[in-house]
């Protein structure tokens, strides 16, 4: 955004409604500033107070041990996240309060109270133990959005077995790679899950993945879709194992830095990285942000629409809300099944108070038309959140007006898998909202926009977004690859964590995120490395070379645009084009399927052999999406441009 449009957006700052402010935890900017300053200047005091949100088995001794770029927080403390999400609520008047309210896509509903969830988690923790899982062993969870997915996560946390949740939309290949990278011993899955009226056959993908792995000793299968299937020697039914399990399982006393989970995310190189989060710092970040950013109160029904396969599903479907004793609604299926008002129907029927979703969903709803929204009574809503990519001001205004009826504050939340929890947001009720800006830094977050030399740039100037000091919920490493961790995040700008995003900060201190500045795409709020898609394409026998770039997309934010050269003797055809799309779906998952594949005779390269991505992005931007997909792009005519690019 240039200076004048930034100024225009600033003039559109929207004050939160007085009714909301009256009960807000942080009442105004002055209070926010005071707390924020304290969080940076007196971290011992700030985090000391905040850490009382956690029930500790043993108090921590030292706030931070920082041997750049390796941090340890709350050193010497002992705790258990599952205990904090369950036992302490079971021992309180929340005992019979709903912890999870689940709705399946076909319409079934299940409510689990804290006491019931606690019991299921204890039982499943015993199942894991009886299958040989010990503290530190990795467990892969490849599940639809059903209560058993949450039960499995909390059971892992209970016994100190780090989980790695694999998004149910990922392919068998992706499952295999993730299992191999972290050496998972057990896979928890389901026969299938519902998505847009279809059954996604998860167990089949696990079966296809396992021959390429060597560490898995057991597959535990939840019967969700009632598919007719016989289990192999390595497999057990979840319900059979659970029937035999005791419901007594003490929560392990774990070190503050005990690994809680590994979550894979795309980077700018081919292989997804296993982001490692540990116990105390991550959990405190989840608790504190859920409390302040979502203003979560005991009587609220809270719904985050993210899948647990993403970090949003970890922090804001499971750990933050349950940690605070809140009620988390989970929905299994698609937003437009059977009709485009499914989300609003859920909001109305369950009387959802807090609703958190992604800009790509908001833009899809806009496109489907206001009538689907207006059909429903949404008066229960009191706060709306957005996450995943920059929200364009039009979508923001639509969300604010049509869904929130100008009553609910909209909190945009900028963060990443690596940050564990919210880093930038407009605390609801505390500060004006600026449609399109992610807002102000959260407590403890020392954020800056810098130039290539690492110097902070003046207001309203674009640059790289960095974090200048460690924060409690930060990633601790890339699983098994500390060198890559250092190189990827801590070597770009001296002494700083580099986010990979571009941003500018305005004169009010608000951050405007402009998007990734590395070779990572953001497709419908999902991170996708261009290199990952390229290597999937070249793994097809017909492909010689591939280059993938993003193309602006009205709904998804970015679409995947691929340029491909074929091997000698291969003729590019419409069928091959379709086959390559399917192949990428098989290699990575449906979200990575290129929207467009263009065949080219050669890929435009600089003399030093680097693919001219800027040029390809320009061609993609002007490219007709539905043109003849077999036409060869003629890059020869572009030779003169090569010079400029060098």
Contacting residues toward ligand WT7, per CB under 6 A? 265, 311-312, 387-390, 412-417, 438, 499-501, 513, 515-516, 522, 527
User: Which residue in the block uniquely carries the two structure tokens 């999902």?
Assistant: 526
**Shortest distance in whole angstroms from residue 516 CB to ligand WT7:** 5
3-class secondary structure per residue, 76-132: CCEECHHHHHHHHHHCCCCCCCEEEEEECCCCCEEEEEHHHHHHHHHHHHHHHHHCC
Phi, psi (rounded to 5 degrees) for 152: -65, -40
Q: Which is nearer to ligand WT7, 274 or 388 (CB)?
A: 388
Q: Which is nearer to ligand WT7, 312 or 577 (CB)?
A: 312
**Shortest distance in whole angstroms from residue 202 CB to ligand WT7:** 21
Spatial distance between the Cα atoms of 151 and 158, rounded to a whole number of angstroms = 10
User: Which residue in the block uniquely carries the two structure tokens 């289990």?
Assistant: 231
Spatial distance between the Cα atoms of 519 and 537, rounded to a whole number of angstroms = 16
Is there a contact between 124 and 149 (Cβ–Cβ < 8 Å)? Answer: no
**Shortest distance in whole angstroms from residue 502 CB to ligand WT7:** 9
Spatial distance between the Cα atoms of 118 and 89, rounded to a whole number of angstroms = 9
Q: Which is nearer to ligand WT7, 118 or 526 (CB)?
A: 526
**Shortest distance in whole angstroms from residue 386 CB to ligand WT7:** 6
Q: How far lies 85's CA from each of 157, 224, 290, in Å?
A: 10, 25, 13
**Shortest distance in whole angstroms from residue 68 CB to ligand WT7:** 21
**Shortest distance in whole angstroms from residue 465 CB to ligand WT7:** 8
Q: Which is nearer to ligand WT7, 341 or 389 (CB)?
A: 389
Angle at the Cα of 529 (from 278 to 628), degrees rounded to 5?
155
Q: Which is nearer to ligand WT7, 315 or 577 (CB)?
A: 315
How distant is the alpha carbon of residue 465 from its chain centre? 19
* Token couple for 459: 């207001």
Spatial distance between the Cα atoms of 578 and 580, rounded to a whole number of angstroms = 5
**Shortest distance in whole angstroms from residue 518 CB to ligand WT7:** 9
Give the nearest residue (CB) to ligand WT7. Answer: 417
**Shortest distance in whole angstroms from residue 318 CB to ligand WT7:** 14
Helix axes 202-209, 172-182, angle to 10 degrees: 60
**Shortest distance in whole angstroms from residue 312 CB to ligand WT7:** 5
Q: Which is nearer to ligand WT7, 467 or 537 (CB)?
A: 467
Contacts 24+ apart (CB under 8 A), 583-588: 583/536, 583/537, 583/539, 583/540, 584/533, 584/536, 584/537, 585/171, 586/171, 586/172, 586/173, 587/171, 587/173, 587/174, 587/536, 587/539, 588/170, 588/171, 588/173, 588/174, 588/532, 588/533, 588/536
Q: Which is nearer to ligand WT7, 256 or 426 (CB)?
A: 426
* Token couple for 493: 């700008």
Neighbours of 57 (CB within 10 A): 14
Spatial distance between the Cα atoms of 74 and 76, rounded to a whole number of angstroms = 6
**Shortest distance in whole angstroms from residue 307 CB to ligand WT7:** 11
Q: Which is nearer to ligand WT7, 114 or 489 (CB)?
A: 489
Q: Which is nearer to ligand WT7, 424 or 566 (CB)?
A: 424
**Shortest distance in whole angstroms from residue 523 CB to ligand WT7:** 10
Q: Which is nearer to ligand WT7, 266 or 535 (CB)?
A: 266
Q: Which is nearer to ligand WT7, 515 or 585 (CB)?
A: 515
Helix (H) or strand (E) holding 57: none
Spatial distance between the Cα atoms of 68 and 205, rounded to a whole number of angstroms = 40
**Shortest distance in whole angstroms from residue 450 CB to ligand WT7:** 16
* DSSP H stretches of helix in 196-247: 202-209, 238-243
Q: Which is nearer to ligand WT7, 493 or 580 (CB)?
A: 493
């Amino acid at each position: 955004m240039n200076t004048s449009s930034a100024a225009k957006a600033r003039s559109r700052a929207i004050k939160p409604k007085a009714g909301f402010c009256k009960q807000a935890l942080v009442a105004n900017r002055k209070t926010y500033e005071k707390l924020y300053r304290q969080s940076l200047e007196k971290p011992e005091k700030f985090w000391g107070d905040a850490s009382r949100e956690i029930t500790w088995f043993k108090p921590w001794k030292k706030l931070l041990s920082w041997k750049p770029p390796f941090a340890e927080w709350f050193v010497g403390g002992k705790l258990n996240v599952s205990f904090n999400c369950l036992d302490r609520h079971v021992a309180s008047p929340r005992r019979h309060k709903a912890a999870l309210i689940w709705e399946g896509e076909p319409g079934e509903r299940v409510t689990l109270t804290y006491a019931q969830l606690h019991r299921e988690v204890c039982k499943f923790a015993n199942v894991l133990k009886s299958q040989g899982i010990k503290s530190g062993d990795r467990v892969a969870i490849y599940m639809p959005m059903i209560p058993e997915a949450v039960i499995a996560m909390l059971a892992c946390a209970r016994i100190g077995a780090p989980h790695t949740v694999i998004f149910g939309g990922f392919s068998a290949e992706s499952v295999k790679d993730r299992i191999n990278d972290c050496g998972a011993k057990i896979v928890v899955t389901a026969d299938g899950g519902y998505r847009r009226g279809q059954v996604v056959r998860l167990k089949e993908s696990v079966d296809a993945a396992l021959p390429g792995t060597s560490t898995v000793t057991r597959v535990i299968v939840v019967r969700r879709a009632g598919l007719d299937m016989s289990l192999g020697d390595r497999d057990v039914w979840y319900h059979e194992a659970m029937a035999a399990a005791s419901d007594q399982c003490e929560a392990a006393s774990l070190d503050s830095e005990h690994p809680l989970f590994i979550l894979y995310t795309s980077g700018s190189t081919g292989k997804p990285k296993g982001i490692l989060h540990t116990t105390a710092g991550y959990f405190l970040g989840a608790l504190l942000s859920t409390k302040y950013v979502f203003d979560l109160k005991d009587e609220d029904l809270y719904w985050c629409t993210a899948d647990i396969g993403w970090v949003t599903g970890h922090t804001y479907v499971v750990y933050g809300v349950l940690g605070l004793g809140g009620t988390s609604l989970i929905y299994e299926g698609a937003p437009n099944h059977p009709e485009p008002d499914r989300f609003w129907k859920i909001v109305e029927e369950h009387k959802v108070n807090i609703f958190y979703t992604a800009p790509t969903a908001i833009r899809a709803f806009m496109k489907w038309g206001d009538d689907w929204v207006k059909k429903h009574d949404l008066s229960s809503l009191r706060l709306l959140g957005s996450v995943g990519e920059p929200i364009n001001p039009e979508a923001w205004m639509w969300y604010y007006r049509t869904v929130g009826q100008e009553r609910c504050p909209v909190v945009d939340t900028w963060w990443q898998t690596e940050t564990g929890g919210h880093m930038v947001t407009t605390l609801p009720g505390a500060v004006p909202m600026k449609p399109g800006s992610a807002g102000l830094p959260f407590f403890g977050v020392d954020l800056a926009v810098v130039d290539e030399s690492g110097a902070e740039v003046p207001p309203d100037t674009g640059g790289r977004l960095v974090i200048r000091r460690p924060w409690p919920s930060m990633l601790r490493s890339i699983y098994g690859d500390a060198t890559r961790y250092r190189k990827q995040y801590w070597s770009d700008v001296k002494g700083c964590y580099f986010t990979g995003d571009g941003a500018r900060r305005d004169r009010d201190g608000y951050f405007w995120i402009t998007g990734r500045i590395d070779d990572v795409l953001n497709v419908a709020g999902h991170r996708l490395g261009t290199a990952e898609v390229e290597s999937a394409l070249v793994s097809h026998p017909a492909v010689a070379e591939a280059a993938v770039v993003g193309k602006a997309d009205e709904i998804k934010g970015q679409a995947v645009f691929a340029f491909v050269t074929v091997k000698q003797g291969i003729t590019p055809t419409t069928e091959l084009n379709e086959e390559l799309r399917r192949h990428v779906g098989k290699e990575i998952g449906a979200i990575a399927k290129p929207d467009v594949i263009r065949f080219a005779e050669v890929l435009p390269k600089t003399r030093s052999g680097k693919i001219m991505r800027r040029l390809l992005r320009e061609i993609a931007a002007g490219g007709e999406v539905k043109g003849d997909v077999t036409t060869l792009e003629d890059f020869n005519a572009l030779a003169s441009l090569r010079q400029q690019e060098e």
